[in-house]
């Protein structure tokens, strides 16, 4: 029986990924989970197909559109031990299931190369969101970027290149030092309320409660907050609404703004991982 790659489609990234992998000679079976009304039906199909699966590619995040309980059951009972599982943002309990069963898996969002390449797409998409929702030009605007990881750094650099006056908020002194070396004004979150005064845009990349009431209440009423951190984000959205400040949690930016480029990033990660796994398996023969 021909080995197959099962691909769950949750956005356009997977549509393009299916096309790329098919051109590379893989036998792809797609299950579209974008329609909430047909997800249960698709999950039943998935269970029936898993006996033939050499590779299972889950969404980013893996629970996008899928009930956590259902996914955990599939990983625990239906996935074969020799199937390679891939996806984005596996929960600790899902990693535990896979590791206990000895199933090889890749979390795309923990792959250093994917994270770095994805940050570029995220930064460009974040800029697009700011342009669409802020009443101000980026050039000359005071903008706060919270966090200076891969995404925070990429966003801050693109904003700076467009002429924004960027302030980076970061907790760790070594991170602030790195931001300063890159040409940014960088301070601790304790100075967040002070820095919020006059900032017409704020981009949060930290998956923790860092954009607080104290900071929001110092923002101008026509400021715009873009939160791209993992749900539920790091912004006090209730306070923002109460203050009349527009604030959005926008997830999966690469899948929205550059799905084909993002699909190629995933395809390269799949190739790297399967080649590495193949070499490791050969070494154990």
Pairing of strands 246-249, 224-227: parallel
User: What pLDDT does 191 receive?
Assistant: 96
Pairing of strands 28-32, 53-57: unpaired
User: Does the N-terminal peptide bond of residue 40 adopt cis geometry, omega within 30 degrees of 0?
Assistant: no
Largest CA distance in the chain: 65
Return the exposure string of 114-150: e unless at least 16 CB atoms fall within 10 Å of the residue's CB, then b.
Answer: bbebbbbbbbbbbbebbeeebebebeebbbbbbbbeb
User: What pLDDT does 283 receive?
Assistant: 41
User: What pLDDT does 176 receive?
Assistant: 97
User: What pLDDT does 281 receive?
Assistant: 42
Tens of each residue's pLDDT in the chain, 285 residues: 467 999 999 999 999 999 999 999 999 999 999 999 999 999 999 999 998 899 999 999 899 889 999 999 999 999 999 999 999 999 999 999 999 999 999 999 999 999 999 999 999 999 999 999 999 999 999 999 999 999 999 999 999 999 999 999 999 999 999 999 999 999 999 999 999 999 999 999 999 999 999 999 999 999 999 999 988 999 999 999 999 999 999 988 998 899 999 999 999 999 999 888 765 544 433
User: What pLDDT does 52 receive?
Assistant: 87
Q: How many CB atoms lie within 10 A of CB 58?
A: 29
Domains of the chain: 4-110+258-283 (3.40.50.720), 114-251 (3.40.50.720)
């Amino acid at each position: 029986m021909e080995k197959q790659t099962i691909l769950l489609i949750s956005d356009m990234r997977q549509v393009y990924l299916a096309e790329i992998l098919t051109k590379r000679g893989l036998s792809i079976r797609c299950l579209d989970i974008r329609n909430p009304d047909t997800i249960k039906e698709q999950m039943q199909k998935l269970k029936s197909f898993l006996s033939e699966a050499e590779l299972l590619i889950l969404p980013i995040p893996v629970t996008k559109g899928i009930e956590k309980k259902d996914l955990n059951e599939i990983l625990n009972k239906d996935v074969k031990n020799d199937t390679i599982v891939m996806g984005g943002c596996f929960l600790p309990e899902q990693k535990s299931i896979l590791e206990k069963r000895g199933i090889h898996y890749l979390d795309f969002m923990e792959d250093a190369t994917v994270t770095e390449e994805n940050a570029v797409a995220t930064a460009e998409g974040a800029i697009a969101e700011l342009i669409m929702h802020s009443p101000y030009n980026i050039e000359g605007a005071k903008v706060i970027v919270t966090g200076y990881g891969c995404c925070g750094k990429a966003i801050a650099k693109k904003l700076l290149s467009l002429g924004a006056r960027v302030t980076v908020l970061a907790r760790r002194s070594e991170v602030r030092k790195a931001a300063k070396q890159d040409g940014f004004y960088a301070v601790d979150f304790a100075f967040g309320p002070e820095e919020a005064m006059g900032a017409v845009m704020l981009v949060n990349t930290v998956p923790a409660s860092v954009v607080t009431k104290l900071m929001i209440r110092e923002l101008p009423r026509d400021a715009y907050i873009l939160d791209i951190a993992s749900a539920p984000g790091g912004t006090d959205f209730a306070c923002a609404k109460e203050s009349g400040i527009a604030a959005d949690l926008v997830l999966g930016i690469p899948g929205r703004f550059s799905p084909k480029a993002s699909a190629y990033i995933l395809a390269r990660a799949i190739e790297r991982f399967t080649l590495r796994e193949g070499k490791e398996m050969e070494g154990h023969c």
